[in-house]
Amino acid sequence: MLELPAHDQRYLEAVETLPRPQLLALQQERLMRMLAYAYERSPFVRRHWDSAGLRPSDVKTTDEFTRLAPLMDKDQMRAWRDANDDPFCGLLCTDVAEISFMGSSSGTTGDPTLFSYRWGRDDGNLPAAPGLPADGPSSYWGGTLRDWWEIGLRPGEHAVYFGLRMRGPMFRLLQTLGLTPIMLGYGPDDLLQFIDLSRRYRPTVFYAMTAYLGVGLQELERTMGIDMRDVFASYKGVLFAGEPVGPKMRRTFERWGLAGKIFNQTSFGDLGHAHDCREHDGCHAWEDIGVAEIIDPVTAVPILGDGRGELVCTSLVNPIDPLIRYRGGDIVDMKRGICECGRTHARFTPVGRSADEAVIGGRSILPMDVWGAIEDVPETSGGLFQIVRPQRELDRLKIRVGYAGTPELRALEAQVADSVEAAVGLRPVIELVPNEAIMQSGSRHKIPRTVKR
Amino acid sequence: MMTKTTTEPRAPGDIGTRWAIGLLRLPSGYQPYPVSLRDIDRDTEWARTVFARLGIVTGRPMHLIGTGCDYEILWPYENALIGMKVPFGVAEPVAIDAPRSDMFLRRFRLQAVMGLSGEIVDALVAMKRDLRELLGHSTLIALPDAATTLRAAGLAPWTQLPIGPIFAFESPARDGALYDQREWLVEEADGELLLTSVAPRACPFVRLRTGVRGRVVQGAIHCA
């Protein structure tokens, strides 16, 4: 049962500010238990560790774990799945009947992979079952509750919920915190309803904002003269999920009175979610829920301390399908010092995905490097673009860019190329398409930022 | 200091009375409406009877397609499956999510697939899937826009008929769709189905014009 603190308390749970030595001791204790559990029950983990000549009993500390344990990735999971006709990729540690809900990845790099949840009560009103440690968070969703409480969400408030289902019923977490979700979707007039309902109920959070919806709101402001400052007057937070907010769109939301209230929800290495707090200095990686490491994306050598690297995560609480030293391809800047918010857990800022990196003449380019330059051109200010990346090494940078309205295309092409060249020092080839063509190329909450052709 | 518990949502004035605000998408326009936990509990009971009628059994996976924006309608069906210990995989009923449904259909031997939409079925056809091979071993529950294509492929789906904030279900024998008569009354006027709540729901509806064409014969709905 989750008990909520007094409204003026910043933290949901005491573990958020646990002194770091105690936190790391707790993490190590949970890690050792998880390794034994996963090795015993997960065919993938057992085979993977056996292949590396390692057993859980060979690992006594978190430090030994990060030095000795083999990394795993999605390609290996898919290979297991195909070789063994096992939709759970060999990760399932329970009987299938113990699963309640099977979500799945977006499938942008292949057949979607599963992540599964178990419910806490048979009436469906407790969204998460107990995790592996009896004294731990109720599940890997426990971190999301902490993050949303810190943003300032409180019982009795309303929340706008533009939710898709594949990551689980996130609206149940809002209800767990005592908020009433307002269910909206991607219908053609839902944004108009959002405006009306925001004025009527004065919600405090928008979950989840995307480039797709942001472009739609900008268009409503432009064509209907809607006062977005009034619409968002009650909001404590607008949460971007799926991909981070671009620099220009961030400025637009700030102009709408949301400076300091724009939050990023990102994947905590597929263990769950991570969010930035009100200090906006990175997304909190809850170290009592997972182990967060960074490695060199090419050599896979662990990077100690702070710095940039590929995020590697290990679940400590998931009893269903735990990931052990999973590298998901997210490149992050990691910080392990105490956050200004007072929490002691590590935090990271996503900077891109290794699978999205293009190398042109030895120069590394990630989508975030060109994002602002594209948004700076008025006709392409929606920031809807894709780097055409048939392989990592390219002769030239080619970008497909979405535009609004009916501009003169040749002039616009040159304008966008100038802007990108000024930002990254490379002259790109620009292919212009209507915004809709980009928006229809992927899931509505997440535009594929690189495409093969 | 701990001051408030929200996981017992029936407490007076607590979230149970305003479990969610849904949005009806009617031909006449949009209509927001509140839903209480009492409504969800009752709709979950109804969903259990639907699954019993469909022959759904514990422990075997099924696929439940539906939109997150309609969760106040869909959640009771998820709740019922959770209580019955039936694992379910999820996807949205739009073409762009068809690869997700396709994955569930190929990789599991599903006991049932519910919420099949025209967009999903058309997308599966466009992916060159053999509908009989992919779906033939499952109990199928399809929206009206998918049912026709499935029947043409030689399959015998149930029909899942959206009527405002509820679903009614018609067997493959096409003998009329049944709905939860403890909570609702469906009538017909000038060929359009009208919906009235007959139980103390958070948002009472009186002869709501649903925009669905059909007629009611001895309590069962026959769509035009």
pLDDT, tens digit, 9 for 90 and up, residues B152-206: 999 999 999 999 999 999 999 999 999 999 999 999 999 999 999 999 999 999 9
- Return the structure tokens found at A291: 């182990």
A8 in B contact zone (CB under 8 Å): no
- The more confident residue out of A52 and B224 is A52
Cβ-nearest to B87 among A96, A111, A178? A96
| Residues B82, A165: C-beta atoms closer than 8 Å | no
Among A353, A383, A411, identify where a domain stops.
Answer: A353
| Residues B69, A175: C-beta atoms closer than 8 Å | no
Q: Output phi, psi for B145, to 5 deg.
A: -75, -10
Q: Which of B15, B28, B56 best probes binding to A when mutated, by most A CB atoms within 10 angstroms?
A: B15
| Residues B107, A87: C-beta atoms closer than 8 Å | yes
| C-alpha gyration radius of chain B | 18
In this structure, the answer to whether residues A20 and A164 fall within a common structural domain is yes
Cβ-nearest to A123 among B58, B68, B83? B83
Position A2 in a domain: no
In this structure, the answer to whether residues A347 and A361 fall within a common structural domain is no
To the nearest whole Å, the CA of A235 is away from the closest chain B CA by 17
Cα(B113)–Cα(B123) distance, integer angstroms: 16
B14 pLDDT band, cuts 50/70/90, is low
Contact predicate B67/B41, CB 8 Å: no
Task: Tell how strand B29-35 and strand B20-26 pair up.
Answer: antiparallel
Residues of B whose CB is below 8 A from A179: 15
Cα(B42)–Cα(B40) distance, integer angstroms: 5
Query: Considering only residues 109 to 148 of chain A, which have any Cβ-Cβ distance to chain B shorter than 8 Å?
Result: 111-112, 114, 116, 119, 122-126
Position A209 in a domain: yes
In this structure, the answer to whether residues A344 and A373 fall within a common structural domain is no
In this structure, the number of other CB atoms found within 10 A of the CB of residue A279 comes to 14
CA angle, A9 as apex, A6 and A12 as ends, to 5°?
90
Contact predicate B4/A178, CB 8 Å: yes
Give the residue from chain A lying closest to B91, CA to CA. A166
| Residues A4, B69: C-beta atoms closer than 8 Å | no
Give the residue from chain B lying closest to A439, CA to CA. B96
| Helix extents (H) in A179-274 | 190-201, 211-224, 228-231, 247-253
A99 in B contact zone (CB under 8 Å): yes
Q: Which of B103, B106, B114, B120 best probes binding to A when mutated, by most A CB atoms within 10 angstroms?
A: B103
In this structure, the answer to whether residues A326 and A435 fall within a common structural domain is no
In this structure, the answer to whether residues A314 and A367 fall within a common structural domain is no
In this structure, the answer to whether residues A70 and A206 fall within a common structural domain is yes
Cβ-nearest to A122 among B69, B83, B87? B83
Contact predicate B207/B188, CB 8 Å: no
- pLDDT of the residue at B12: 41
B3 pLDDT band, cuts 50/70/90, is very low
B1 pLDDT band, cuts 50/70/90, is very low
Q: Which of A80, A102, A157 best probes binding to B when mutated, by most B CB atoms within 10 angstroms?
A: A102
In this structure, the answer to whether residues A214 and A343 fall within a common structural domain is yes
Using a 10 angstrom Cβ sphere, with 0-12 exposed, 13-18 middle and 19 or more buried, the burial of residue A116 is buried
- Return the structure tokens found at A292: 């967060």
Residues of A whose CB is below 8 A from B71: 161, 163, 165, 169, 171, 181, 183
Position A1 in a domain: no
To the nearest whole Å, the CA of A172 is away from the closest chain B CA by 10
Instruction: Kindly give, in sequence order, each residue whose CB lies less than 8 Å from that of residue A130, ignoring residues fewer than 6 positions away.
Output: A120, A138, A139
- pLDDT of the residue at A166: 78
Cβ-nearest to A183 among B4, B71, B107? B71
Cα(B129)–Cα(B145) distance, integer angstroms: 18
A149 in B contact zone (CB under 8 Å): no
To the nearest whole Å, the CA of B214 is away from the closest chain A CA by 25
Mean pLDDT of chain B: 92
Cα(A157)–Cα(A149) distance, integer angstroms: 12
Q: Give yes or no for a cis peptide into B173 (omega within 30° of 0).
A: no
A184 in B contact zone (CB under 8 Å): yes
Tokens 């809709």 belong to residue: A436
List of E strands, A242-369: 262-267, 273-275, 283-284, 290-295, 307-315, 326-335, 347-353, 358-360, 363-365
Cα(A198)–Cα(A180) distance, integer angstroms: 13
Looking up residue A249, the CATH number of its domain turns out to be: 3.40.50.12780
In this structure, the answer to whether residues A303 and A159 fall within a common structural domain is yes
| Residues B4, A155: C-beta atoms closer than 8 Å | yes
| Residues B44, A185: C-beta atoms closer than 8 Å | no
From residue A407, alpha-carbon distances to A100, A378, A411, A421, B120 in Å are 50, 10, 8, 21, 35
From residue A71, alpha-carbon distances to A43, A90, A127, B191 in Å are 15, 15, 31, 63
Among A353, A377, A396, identify where a domain stops.
Answer: A353
Tokens 């697939």 belong to residue: B113
| Residues B69, A6: C-beta atoms closer than 8 Å | no
Using a 10 angstrom Cβ sphere, with 0-12 exposed, 13-18 middle and 19 or more buried, the burial of residue B173 is exposed
In this structure, the answer to whether residues A273 and A383 fall within a common structural domain is no
To the nearest whole Å, the CA of A424 is away from the closest chain B CA by 33
| Residues B20, A4: C-beta atoms closer than 8 Å | no
Among A335, A353, A371, identify where a domain stops.
Answer: A353
A101 in B contact zone (CB under 8 Å): yes
Give the residue from chain A lying closest to B72, CA to CA. A183
Cα(A157)–Cα(A179) distance, integer angstroms: 5
Task: Report the C-alpha dihedral over residues A380, A381, A384, A389, rounded to 10 degrees.
Answer: 70
**Could you give the strand order of the β-sheet that contains A393-394, starting from the edge strand earlier in sequence?**
A363-365, A358-360, A393-394
Residues of A whose CB is below 8 A from B79: 123-125
B15 pLDDT band, cuts 50/70/90, is low
**Residue range of the domain that includes A134:** 8-353
Residues of B whose CB is below 8 A from A163: 68-69, 71
Query: Considering only residues 402 to 441 of chain A, which have any Cβ-Cβ distance to chain B shorter than 8 Å?
Result: 440
Task: Tell how strand A205-209 and strand A237-241 pair up.
Answer: parallel
Residues of A whose CB is below 8 A from B5: 1-4
| Residues A183, B20: C-beta atoms closer than 8 Å | yes
Position A3 in a domain: no
| Helix extents (H) in A3-54 | 20-41, 43-51
Tell me which residue of A48, A35, A125 sits closest to A79, measured CA to CA: A48
Q: How far is CA B135 from the centre of its chain?
A: 19
Cα(A81)–Cα(A339) distance, integer angstroms: 40
Total domains in chain A come to 2
In this structure, the answer to whether residues A348 and A381 fall within a common structural domain is no
Using a 10 angstrom Cβ sphere, with 0-12 exposed, 13-18 middle and 19 or more buried, the burial of residue B34 is middle
Looking up residue A432, the CATH number of its domain turns out to be: 3.30.300.30
| Residues A101, B82: C-beta atoms closer than 8 Å | yes
In this structure, the answer to whether residues A308 and A377 fall within a common structural domain is no
pTM: 0.90
Contact predicate A33/A40, CB 8 Å: no
Low-confidence residues of chain A: pLDDT under 70: 1-2, 123-130, 138, 442-445
- In chain B, what are the domains? 20-165 (3.40.50.12780)
Residues of B whose CB is below 8 A from A439: none
